Amino acid sequence: MKAETAAKRDRFLDLARAGPAVMGIVNITPDSFSDGGHFIDADAAIAHARAHVEAGAAIVDVGAESTRPGYTPVPEAEEIARLAPALAALVQSIDVAVSIDTTKAAVARLALEAGAAVVNDQWGLQGDPAMADVVAAGEAGLVMMHNRASIDPGLDIVDDMRRFFDVSLDLAARAGILRARLILDPGIGFGKTKAQNFAALKGVRVLRDYGLPILVGVSRKSLFAALLGPHSANDWLIPTIAANVAAAERGTTIFRVHDCAENLSALTVFNAIERA
């Protein structure tokens, strides 16, 4: 990893440990649930990344495959084709770290070569068997998200998260990924019932035992519709902030969001009160 990229990585990890840090979402996809198709064009994606940084983002998370409920998986070649026109220029255009939101080792490798500093893996190294070695070789930071292939309503989801993360942490250690570069994500909206999603948010406090930064991604998610009734995804700013503040109270320090300024303002006030 180049020295400039490593410096961005380490600056983000320092902010992640202290909190609050917001991760601005850039979806280079035609079908994401709230902004699909808005940032497929390279110039639009770059402008959106810059806007996130101006709004206070500590990192920008770039993805080229939607994982909304009912999504259609994207072949590796198509994911790379979506990223290639924008990624290197996007990395160069901002002075914060870029993370790549992918489950595929080949896509992660391409992104790291283009200057990304963090891999955001929705399967916590348990999907693509090559992912751990790619992250280790690239000296990248790593977000390990909890996920399940199927929903089991009878499951104690917090216990399942602990079992999952124990496996992921072992895979990271075996690959030589430094523990100081690891972040845990409970995976809200992935492989969980509505009740389990809220239990996972409440259970963030338990994950603090690992001594690692915790990231939560609830921005504009359909779990709010299940609770409050149907709305446009763009109407979920207040519920998103409420969930993020509750997660912060339980020890979360990184928040993956579409609306950086608004969430950061609320979280900064929360932290000021907590530290008074």
Q: How confident is the model at residue 224 (pLDDT cuts 50, 70, 90)?
A: confident
- Alpha carbon 213 to its chain's center: 12
Contact between residue 139 and residue 1 where contact means Cβ atoms under 8 Å apart: yes
**Whether residue 129 has a cis bond before it, omega within 30° of 0:** no
- As a whole number, mean pLDDT of residues 200-226 equals 94
Mean pLDDT value across residues 207-222: 95
The dihedrals phi and psi of 140, each to the nearest 5 degrees, come to -85, 155
CA dihedral (196, 183, 66, 155) in degrees, to 10, reads -20
Segment 76-90 shows an average pLDDT of: 92
pLDDT for the residue numbered 163: 98
Q: What is the pLDDT of residue 37?
A: 43
**Domain tally, the chain:** 1
**What is the residue-averaged pLDDT of the chain?**
92
- The confidence score (pLDDT) of residue 231 equals 65
Q: What percent of the chain has pLDDT over 70?
A: 93
Instruction: Determine whether 11 is an active site residue.
Output: no
| Structural domain boundaries, residue 259 | 3-275
Q: Which of 194, 221, 250, 275 is catalytic?
A: 221
39, 50 contact by CB (below 8 A)? no
- 68 to each of 26, 33, 73, 160, how far by Cα in Å? 14, 6, 10, 22
Alpha helices in the chain (DSSP H): 3-18, 42-54, 76-83, 87-93, 105-113, 131-138, 157-175, 194-202, 204-207, 223-228, 237-249, 260-275
pLDDT number for residue 199 = 97
Is 256 considered catalytic here? yes
Has residue 178 got a pLDDT over 80? yes
Name the strands in the sheet holding 254-257, side by side, starting at the edge strand that comes first in the sequence. 182-185, 141-145, 118-121, 97-101, 59-63, 21-27, 254-257, 215-216
Give the pLDDT score at 147.
97
Which tokens hold the place of 247?
Answer: 């997660």
CATH of the domain at 166: 3.20.20.20
Segment 219-243 mean pLDDT: 82
Exposed e or buried b per residue across 167-180, where buried means at least 16 C-beta atoms within 10 angstroms of its C-beta:
ebbebbeebebeee
The answer to whether the CB of 29 falls within 8 A of the CB of 64 is: yes
Smallest CA-to-CA distance from 52 within 13, 22, 31 is with 22
Q: What is the pLDDT of residue 273?
A: 96
Instruction: Kindly name the residue from 174, 192, 256, 275 that is annotated as catalytic.
Output: 256
pLDDT, tens digit (0-9, with 9 covering 90-100), for 198-209? 999 999 999 999
- Report whether 36 contacts 29 (CB < 8 A): yes
User: In this model, does residue 33 exceed pLDDT 70?
Assistant: no
Q: Looking at the predicted structure, is the pLDDT value of residue 39 above 60?
A: no
Q: From CA 26, how far away is CA 45, in angstroms rounded?
A: 7
Calculate mean pLDDT across residues 74-101.
Answer: 94
| Average pLDDT over every residue of 19-27 | 96
User: What does the alpha-carbon distance between residue 241 and residue 229 come to, in Å, rounded to a whole number?
Assistant: 17
Segment 4-22 mean pLDDT: 97
> Which has the higher per-residue pLDDT, 1 or 235?
1
Q: Tell me what the mean pLDDT of segment 51-79 comes to.
A: 87
Q: Are strands 118-121 and 141-145 parallel, antiparallel or unpaired?
A: parallel
Q: Give the pLDDT confidence score for residue 223 in this predicted structure.
A: 86
pLDDT of residue 192 exceeding 60: yes
Query: In this predicted model, which residue has the larger pLDDT, 71 or 219?
Result: 219
Q: What pLDDT score does 29 carry?
A: 79
Closest among 208, 158, 201, 160 to 183, alpha carbons compared: 208
